[in-house]
Structure 1
Amino acid sequence: MKSSHVSALQLKHAGIERQIAEEMSRPVPDPSTIQALKKRKLRIKEELAHI
């Protein structure tokens, strides 16, 4: 059970990284979108650290 939760979090983390990369590659990246995505990514990283 624990490992499937970790896998799910890692997939979410990778998905958010991809979204950040997509936003950064736009002609005019939206700083608030990038900041929100980075906060979500950090929360997932912290949750993974606690497992």
Structure 2
Amino acid sequence: MTTTSHLNALERRHASLDEQIHQEMQRPALNELRIGELKRKKLELKDEMSKLQGQTRQ
């Protein structure tokens, strides 16, 4: 897998997590634990994407 295709896959997963967070926030009974977990995963993906973007610029 090339760096670009890996980065694209991470971006899709990041967008998917964003949508899941949005859906959880719309529920009448918020599941704070689930939302926190999704946000943590989203942040981890963002960190990984930043690292990959830094590698492609070198």
| TM-score normalised by length of structure 2 | 0.86
Which runs of structure 1 show a deviation greater than 2 angstroms over 4 or more consecutive aligned residues? none
Number of aligned positions between the proteins: 51
Gaps of 5+ in 1: none
Gaps of 5+ in 2: 53-58
- Give the structure-1-normalised TM-score: 0.97
CA distance in 2, matches of 1:20, 1:29: 11
1:1-51 mapped onto 2 (5 Å cutoff): 1-51=2-52
Q: Write the letter of the residue equivalent to 1:33.
A: R
State the identity as a percent: 37
C-alpha RMSD over aligned residues: 0.4
Structure with greater Cα Rg:
2
How far does the alpha carbon of each residue in 1:1-51 deviate from its partner, in whole angstroms, 9 at most, with x for none?
111000000000000000000000001110000000000000000000101
